[in-house]
């Protein structure tokens, strides 16, 4: 039996890209979904392709709206079993080009939005003594191979740190609250064209991973397997090679 069956899952950034694909994948596995994003019409279109899906238009950069999302999920289904912080945004700027506003936007959209989700659902998980919290980060948080994504990579690195810290914080007293970090590489979505400052279409980049494949791997990793989910088979190897290179060790890149 698939562990997703009957589970209540909140997915932010569910109107397109990875979030929409994940919602559809979880729906096929029998999950009950609460879909959040700013665009109601796009959310409703995704919901039509899913079963037992609740649509809650949400601006995840506003704490009160994220708390309302949690309350709506509990009111509709009686509980939340898993919460996926997927919403985020890229940027196309080198470090020399970054403005204060650029950095603030990246931290707001990619870090604070996830923090609001974590803080909203954690009391519910602690009361139940179980749950799955997943934060969608990026390979760029660990191997910054795309310098035009400078502030994006930095915001995702900060998200990695918060996720790992929470995992350690909960491990002793709440071992059944699972904290998952998802690290995709280049995915064939409209992420690139939606980045601040525009940029290359991710769907045209060599080796872009199909979004459906990424969604399957995330769904597989919510309830089982390593707590760090690399969606590309060579993901962890690339990180280790990068770290070896920084340390001047053999096998480094």
pLDDT for 17: 96
CATH of domain 8-247: 3.40.50.720
Q: List Cα–Cα distances, 118 to 25, 33, 237, in angstroms.
A: 23, 18, 29
Per-residue pLDDT tens over the stretch 135-175: 999 999 999 989 999 999 999 999 999 999 999 999 999 99
Phi, psi of 2 (to 5 degrees): -70, 130
Q: Is the pLDDT of residue 63 over 90?
A: yes
pLDDT for 194: 83
Per-residue pLDDT tens over the stretch 98-141: 999 999 999 999 999 999 999 999 999 999 999 999 999 999 99
Q: Is the pLDDT of residue 188 over 90?
A: no
Q: What region does 129 belong to: left with phi over 0, alpha with psi -120 to 50, or beta?
A: left
Output the DSSP codes for the chain: --TTTT-EEEEESTTSHHHHHHHHHHHHTT-EEEEEES-HHHHHHHHHTSSSEEEEE--TTSHHHHHHHHHHHHHHHS--SEEEE-----B-B-GGG--HHHHHHHIIIIIIHHHHHHHHHHHHHHHHT-EEEEEE--GGGTS---TTBHHHHHHHHHHHHHHHHHHHHHHTT-TTEEEEEEE--SBSSSTTTTSBT----GGGSTTPBPHHHHHHHHHHHHHSS-SEEESSTTHHHHHHHHHHHHHT-TT--
> 193 near 199, Cβ under 8 Å?
yes
pLDDT for 149: 94
Q: Is the pLDDT of residue 204 over 80?
A: no
Residue (of 184, 186, 170, 154) closest to 84 by Cα position: 184
Kindly list the domain boundaries of the chain, sorted by start residue. Answer: 8-247
152 is catalytic: yes
Mean pLDDT within 81-105: 96
pLDDT for 253: 75
Q: Which residue has the higher pLDDT, 50 or 1?
A: 50
Q: Is 139 helix (H, G, I), strand (E, B) or coil?
A: helix
Percent of the chain with pLDDT over 70: 100
Per-residue pLDDT tens over the stretch 218-228: 999 999 999 99
- Please state, in angstroms and rounded to a whole number, the distance separating the CA atoms of residues 201 and 63: 31
Strand partners, 91: 196
Task: Kindly name the residue from 116, 125, 152, 191 that is annotated as catalytic.
Answer: 152
Phi, psi of 208 (to 5 degrees): -60, 130
**Which residues have a Cβ under 8 Å from the Cβ of 99 and sit 6 or more positions away?**
none
pLDDT for 136: 98
């Amino acid at each position: 039996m698939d562990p997703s069956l009957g589970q209540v899952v909140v997915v932010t950034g569910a109107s397109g890209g990875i979030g929409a694909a994940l919602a559809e994948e979880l729906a096929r596995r029998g999950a009950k979904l609460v879909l959040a994003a700013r665009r109601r019409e796009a959310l409703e279109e995704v919901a039509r392709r899913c079963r037992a899906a609740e649509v809650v238009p949400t601006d995840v950069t506003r704490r009160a709206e994220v708390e309302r999302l949690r309350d709506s999920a509990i009111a509709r289904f009686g509980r939340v079993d898993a919460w996926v912080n997927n919403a985020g945004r890229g940027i196309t700027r080198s470090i020399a080009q970054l403005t204060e506003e650029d950095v603030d936007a990246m931290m707001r959209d990619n870090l604070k939005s996830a923090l609001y989700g974590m803080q909203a659902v954690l009391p519910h998980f602690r009361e139940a003594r179980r749950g799955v919290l997943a934060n969608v980060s990026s390979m760029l948080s660990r191997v910054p191979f795309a310098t035009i994504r400078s502030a994006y990579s930095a915001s995702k690195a900060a998200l990695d740190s918060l996720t790992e810290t929470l995992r350690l914080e909960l491990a002793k007293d709440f071992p059944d609250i699972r904290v998952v970090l998802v690290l995709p590489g280049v995915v064939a979505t409209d992420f690139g064209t939606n980045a601040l400052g525009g940029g290359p279409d991710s769907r045209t980049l060599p080796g872009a991973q199909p979004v459906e494949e990424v969604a399957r791997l995330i769904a597989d990793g919510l309830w089982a397997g390593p707590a760090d989910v690399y969606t590309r088979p060579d993901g962890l190897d690339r990180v280790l090679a990068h770290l070896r290179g920084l340390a001047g060790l053999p096998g480094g890149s």
